[in-house]
């Protein structure tokens, strides 16, 4: 997983777990960019990424009293974010009553397509190319190649096999290569 | 001499995922690398995928286009104060009922006092000889002796009140009315509510931890101390509100629960602070 600078959140985590909203706001300020990044990259839309980021922090607030400190808060909230995005995708899938598999769809809404992130050089290219990946392949690419999860972890989170995760990842890399060569 | 190069580009494609995931054994990797060393197409493919991986791993964090905190703050429920007036969420019906009951009790006492003065009983001077002062109930101002008006303690008085209740025996029922009838004093206060055993235990533990907090203040980050003190003040307010409401409705399970909740929160906060690492 991409490692951010280690922060000592323990005091704010303890206070926030007791209901201190200012302590929770400090946690928000510390971690919002990382949470927003994973949400946005996994769902392929900045607009939706902002909505999901809010959901993540609301969920974290609700679940914080159960956080036992067995991992870093940053790791914990990152996992909350991944789960929120995956659940959102499942719900979205149900709502649309999709009958086709990820492989044959892009899963993009007009809003998502319109929200290409303004970046520069290769990064702009790969970011734009990632948005055009099939959702399943994009999520696994983000989780593995950007966020650093192992295939076994991804398999558990996504409800697939580790082999399926590897296959999706390889497919995503090949698709990105093709997109970047154009 | 015959050079063995059995791998085709198609075969390499099939092995490529395993190659990058390090699922191939040493012989398999060697075959892939040997083929790539002589095939521009496969060499380019491996290099490009390596580039994609490296670029992805170095992507910086993104920032939202706006501050999302306001929306989040609006969605999260206040946890510290679970009774009475909460932040922007209005007043619960039960709390209003309790407050109304308290107002009735206090108003009755004041009325009794005023009536007893008008009929010419002995002057209503508090035992301590304090000058009368105003008390405000629901916006109305009523003159009353100062020393014994106890409608709602301030935050800093809460634990002292609990402590004094722990130490003092319960007052006799009707004692205040008898005193008022004698014209020697007046008490516009809540009826005596004997603290429960758990409340006494909580209060004792809270006092011990507050001593620890005082001793540790210098070792903690000032910002953390400020947050802790703000939270304690908030909880104290909740405790005093619950106590005032309980005086009007001592049998209320809801109010007793809220009182216990507030004291528990205070205890948890103090315990947490006692375990915080020092900044020095």
Q: Which residues are within 8 A (CB) of A7 and not within 5 positions of it... i.e. 6 or more apart?
A: A30, A74
The domain segmentation of chain A, as residue ranges, is 9-99, 104-182
**How many interface pairs between A and B have CB atoms less than 8 angstroms apart?**
131
CATH topology for the A9-99 domain: Rna Polymerase Sigma Factor; Chain: A (1.10.1740)
Handedness of CA B103, B105, B106, B111 (dihedral sign): positive
Q: What is the dihedral of CA B239, B242, B246, B249, to 10 degrees?
A: -170
B45-78: pLDDT as tens digits: 999 999 999 999 999 999 999 999 999 999 996 6
Contact B267, B200 (CB under 8 A): no
CB contacts of B71 in chain A (<8 Å) are 54
A36-90: pLDDT as tens digits: 999 999 999 999 999 999 999 999 999 998 898 888 999 999 999 999 999 988 7
**Stretch B121-137: mean pLDDT:** 39
Q: Report the greatest alpha carbon distance in chain A.
A: 53
Q: What is the pLDDT of residue B141?
A: 36
CA atoms within a 13 Å half-sphere pointing along the CA-CB vector of B246:
20
Q: What is the pLDDT of residue B228?
A: 78
Interface touch A21/B20, C-beta < 8 Å? no
Contact B203, B159 (CB under 8 A): yes
Q: What is the pLDDT of residue A101?
A: 47
pTM: 0.52
Q: Tell me, what's the ipTM?
A: 0.80
CB contacts of B269 in chain A (<8 Å) are 15, 18
The CATH number of A104-182 is: 1.10.10.10
Q: Which residues pair with B90 in a beta bridge?
A: B86
Taking CA atoms, B54 is separated from A36, A123, A142, A147, B173, in Å, by 21, 11, 13, 12, 80
Interface touch A53/B76, C-beta < 8 Å? no
Residue of B nearest to A147 (CA): B57
A114-166: pLDDT as tens digits: 343 444 455 558 889 999 999 999 999 999 999 999 999 999 999 999 999 99
Taking CA atoms, B53 is separated from A99, A139, A144, B69, B101, in Å, by 32, 15, 10, 33, 69
**Closest CB to B52 among A15, A34, A173:** A173
CA atoms within a 13 Å half-sphere pointing along the CA-CB vector of B175:
8
B80-96: pLDDT as tens digits: 444 444 444 444 445 54
Interface touch B277/A36, C-beta < 8 Å? no
Interface touch A166/B21, C-beta < 8 Å? yes
The domain segmentation of chain B, as residue ranges, is 9-57, 70-91+195-275, 108-182
């Amino acid at each position: 997983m991409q490692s951010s600078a280690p922060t000592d959140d323990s005091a704010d985590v303890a206070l926030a777990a007791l209901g201190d909203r200012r302590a929770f706001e400090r946690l928000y300020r510390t971690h919002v960019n990382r949470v927003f990044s994973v949400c946005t990259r996994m769902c392929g839309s900045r607009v939706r990424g902002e909505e999901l980021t809010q959901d993540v922090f609301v969920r974290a607030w609700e679940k914080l009293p159960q956080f036992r400190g067995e991992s870093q808060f940053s790791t914990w909230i990152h996992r909350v974010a991944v789960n929120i995005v995956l659940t959102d995708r499942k719900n979205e899938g149900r709502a649309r009553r999709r009958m086709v598999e990820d492989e044959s769809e892009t899963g993009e809404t007009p809003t998502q397509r319109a929200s290409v992130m303004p970046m520069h050089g290769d990064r702009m290219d790969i970011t734009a190319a990632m948005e055009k990946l099939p959702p399943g392949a994009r999520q696994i690419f983000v989780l593995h190649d950007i966020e650093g999860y192992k295939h076994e972890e991804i398999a558990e989170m996504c409800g697939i096999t580790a082999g399926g995760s590897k296959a999706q990842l390889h497919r995503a890399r090949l698709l990105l290569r093709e997109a970047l060569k154009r | 001499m015959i050079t063995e190069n059995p791998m085709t580009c198609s075969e390499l494609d099939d092995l490529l995922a395993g190659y990058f995931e390090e699922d191939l054994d040493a012989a398999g990797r060697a075959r892939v690398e040997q083929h790539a060393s002589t095939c521009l197409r496969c060499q380019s493919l491996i290099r490009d995928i390596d580039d994609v991986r490296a670029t992805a791993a170095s992507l910086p964090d993104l920032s939202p286009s706006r501050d999302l905190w306001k929306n989040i703050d609006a969605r999260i429920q206040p946890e510290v104060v679970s009774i009475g007036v909460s932040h922007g969420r209005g007043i619960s019906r039960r709390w209003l009922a309790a407050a109304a009951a308290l107002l009735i009790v206090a108003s009755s006492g004041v009325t009794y006092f005023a009536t007893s003065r008008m009929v010419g009983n002995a002057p209503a001077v508090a035992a301590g000889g304090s000058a009368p002062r105003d008390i405000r109930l629901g916006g109305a101002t009523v003159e009353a002796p100062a020393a014994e008006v106890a409608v709602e303690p301030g935050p800093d008085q809460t634990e002292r009140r609990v402590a004094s209740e722990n130490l003092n025996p319960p007052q006799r029922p009707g004692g205040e009315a008898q005193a008022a009838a004698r014209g020697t004093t007046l008490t516009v206060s809540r009826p005596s509510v004997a603290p429960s055993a758990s409340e006494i235990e909580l209060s004792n533990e809270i006092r011990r931890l507050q001593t620890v907090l005082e001793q540790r203040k210098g070792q903690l980050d000032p910002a953390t101390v400020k947050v802790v003190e703000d939270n304690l003040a908030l909880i104290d307010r909740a405790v005093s509100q619950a106590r005032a409401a309980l005086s009007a409705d001592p049998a209320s399970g809801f109010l007793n629960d809220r009182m216990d909740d507030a004291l528990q929160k205070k205890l948890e906060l103090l315990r947490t602070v006692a375990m915080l690492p020092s900044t020095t």
